Amino acid sequence: MSYTIAVENIKCGGCANTIRSKLLEKQLAQTVEVDIAQGLVEIGGNPAWRDQVVIALARMGYPEVGSVEGMKAAAAKAKSFVSCAIGRIDNAASNKG
């Protein structure tokens, strides 16, 4: 089964790679597809784990749309920018290989 979560702060392929790798690493999903333009994360896996996935996404800096306000949103946005930078560095390093 699959379900979709709309999240904030997805800016680039680095963000998408971070989301995909972390959710798979934590075994919260069997498949993960990220639509950067729409800010959607499609999860292939057990829908009963949705709450855990939402928490994991928020901790990575990608809170569910409408779920975070004020300072929490600012902190999440900062984490997202760090994820973008890490993703870009990882991509650059693997392309040089």
Task: Say what the pLDDT of residue 70 is.
Answer: 32
The ranges assigned to domains in the chain are: 2-96
**CATH (residue range 2-96):** 3.30.70.100
Tens place of pLDDT per residue across the chain (97 aa): 999 999 988 889 999 999 999 999 999 999 999 999 999 999 999 999 999 999 999 999 898 888 754 346 556 566 666 676 676 666 666 666 5
Q: Which residues pair with 3 in a beta bridge?
A: 43
Alpha-carbon gap, residue 58 to 16, rounded angstroms: 14
Alpha-carbon gap, residue 53 to 95, rounded angstroms: 30
Phi, psi of 77 (to 5 degrees): -65, -40
